[in-house]
Amino acid sequence: METKNLVSHVKLAALLVAGLGLSGAARAAPAKKLPAPTAAEAERFVLDAEALLTKLDFNSGRADWVGQNFITDDTEIISAQLGEQRLTAAGELALKARRFKGLKLPEATARKLKLLQLSLMLSDAGDREAYTRLAAGMTGSYGKAKYCPKLADGSAAPCLALGDMEKILAESRDPARLKEVWLGWHSQSPQYKGKYAEYTALSNKGAREMGFADTGALWRSGYDMPPEAFAAEMERLWQQVKPLYDSLHTYTRYKLRQAYGAELVPAEGPIPAHLFGNMWSQSWSNLYPLLKPASNKDGYDLGARLVEKNTSAPEMTRYAERFYTSLGLQTLPPTFWERSLLTKPRDRDVVCHASAWSMDGKDDVRIKMCITPTAEDFSTIHHELGHIYYDLAYRGQSHLFQNGANDGFHEAIGDTIALSITPDYLKKVGLRDSVPAGGDDIGPLMERALAKVAFMPFAYLVDKWRWDVYSGKTKPADYDKAWWELREKYQGIKRPAPFSADGFDAGAKYHVAADTPYARYFIATMLQFQFHRALCREAGYVGPLNRCSVYGNKKAGEKLQAMLSLGASKPWQQALKAMSGEDRIDGGALLEYFAPLKVWLDEQNKLMAAGGK
């Protein structure tokens, strides 16, 4: 999109805001006593609000798309301007929506008014401008960040982007090199620590204007339950699955001690974070060669097969599309292939973090992802298309309902499909020659647990940390102290070097720099196993849950599509019940899925403890 068009969108947005009486001049006018609100007035208000937000959301979305695909000072400013327009309108509408509190209204109207009020409101124009510019600036800084090491003679070595460092962490077994690149990346985020502190203060100001205690409370209010109840649910779910994580962590410690020695990996206590094959220790998948069972006879490597077949980024995406169409869902629109970014450009910086985009609430859906032929990216593209198919399924809903039942639902859909990437599925699509014999499941279960089970405490603690930041419990000087207390408590890992008062290790994670809530990923991890079990039952599958693939089953596809089409029109508990028959998130399906692995891990841990390893 050309810059001149984006500038016109800014002007259009300003006119739209003024058109609904949301301009600064209107706010400055003397307040008039309004007559008692009526249900008809509430209906008209919601219709006008949705019309405005539809335009602003799509305009700001296009600006964000350009900003993340062409990172420059100008695109950051344009993105911030459109974001400010959207923020202004959303905040004003949220305040106006309060007027209709207590009216007896149709269920859909009442729900839309509730959703409208889950917004920040910064009444000061200067605050809004600062808020949006800080947000765009942090995202841009994250996308441009590079570690530039020095050679032994003091000269500069080639700079490393995040992707380069992630590759080193994934493949190297040199602890000194791992530590160097881990620290190199984490040395980048302090440059925007000050911006983050300013941003959180402004965010809290906006949340308080809307009647919330702070931004963390606002976020927790988006789950159809009181904020404190949601926090308690998160802890309940974590405690439910913690024994499985503890078994995996204990086994991993034994194997890391064998690989790196007792001096580097302690017999008890937290393990250094740089040894887990991932920049944030959120996935341990790259440790699989060290952790795989000795008895596992299946030497299959999906990544190697994809490389062998010279699988391109579009071809990777086609595999994922064919899974969804095998369930009876539609093919992707032609514009998806024309407008998506599937490979990293050579001529510019982009935010390579995988994301899915709905540009117009209709057919203009896109992926932004730097796809490589790896097993991880094969799973990720199935995940990202889950977002896309959710977007397409609820496009018939009105704008405020064009979203997931909660944000965890949106993340869970693609991961539910990815759970069906079984040996049987891979054989059917020509990526495996044979399927392992029954009972030989520990290897595949281990590999999946290193991605799913290892992720759970990290997915929990990111927002737990932010809730304390937003509440004021954690001050900027204590960002790293609080961050590492949580990581030691929940993940059982520690920083490979002492932290300093000016550190900002949390900001080395994209979702913190981009201010994207993270509890959704924890909820999604739980939900995907519930969804998977429900779809397998619908398909008539009988057998171990980890071996079920619903690929090609139209009945399961109908069940999935029916839930997706609801969007956010119903409380998530109703959407969950429509899919699974259950109205509470529960870790039981996850524990059922990994039950054979839990038995095996506990046996191995007893053997290694008895051997003194």
Identify which of 506, 507, 447 has the alpha carbon closest to the alpha carbon of residue 303: 447
Q: Quick check: 352 and 370 in contact, CB under 8 A?
A: yes
CA dist 41 and 359 (Å) reads: 30
Distance, C-alpha 562 to centroid of its chain: 23
- The letter for the amino acid at 501 is A
The token pair at 250 is 């204990």
Q: Regarding predicted confidence, which is higher, 251 or 80?
A: 251
Amino acid letter, 522: F
Distance CA 452, CA 162 (A): 22
d(CA 309, CA 317): 14
CB-based contact 468:154 (threshold 8 Å) = no
- pTM (predicted TM-score): 0.86
The whole-number pLDDT of residue 31 equals 54
Tokens standing for residue 465: 């940390």
pLDDT band at 1 (very low <50, low <70, confident <90, very high): very low
- The candidate with the shortest Cα–Cα distance to 461, out of 491, 421, 420, is 491
Mean pLDDT (the chain) is: 90
> Where residue 32 falls among pLDDT bands split at 50, 70, 90?
low
- Rounded to an integer, the average pLDDT of 129-144 is 90
State the pLDDT confidence band at 248, using cuts at 50, 70 and 90: very high
pLDDT over 80 at 182, yes or no: yes
DSSP 225: S
Q: Give the residue carrying structure tokens 């965890």.
A: 408
Tell me the DSSP string of 165-212.
Answer: HHHHHHH---HHHHHHHHHHHHTTGGGGHHHHHHHHHHHHHHHHHTT-
Q: Which residues contact 44 (CB under 8 A, 6 or more apart)?
A: none
Helix (H, G, I), strand (E, B) or coil at 494: strand
What was the pLDDT predicted at 74?
86
Looking at per-residue confidence, does 584 or 612 come out higher? 584
3-state helix, strand, coil in the chain (%, to 5): 65, 5, 35
| Residue 34, pLDDT above cutoff 80 | no
How many helices and strands in the chain, by DSSP H and E? 27, 6
Average pLDDT in the 177-202 region?
96
Amino acid at position 128, single letter:
R
Quick check: 169 and 182 in contact, CB under 8 A? Answer: yes
- Is a pLDDT exceeding 90 seen at residue 522? yes
Instruction: Say which range, 53-57, 348-352, 357-361, 603-607, has the weakest mean pLDDT.
Output: 348-352
Of 280, 162, 274, nearest to 518 by C-alpha is 280
> Over 70: is that where the pLDDT of 12 sits?
no
DSSP classification of residue 401: G
**Each residue's pLDDT tens digit, 277-335:** 999 999 999 999 999 988 766 678 899 999 999 999 999 999 999 999 999 999 999 99
Whether 442 and 295 have beta carbons less than 8 Å apart is answered as yes
Average pLDDT over residues 140-163: 89
What are the CA-CA distances from residue 270 to residues 246, 430, 489 (Å)? 12, 42, 8
Q: Which uninterrupted H or E stretch holds 368? A: strand 365-368
Give the single-character DSSP code of 341: B
21 pLDDT above the threshold of 70: no
* Phi/psi of residue 292, nearest 5 degrees: -60, 145
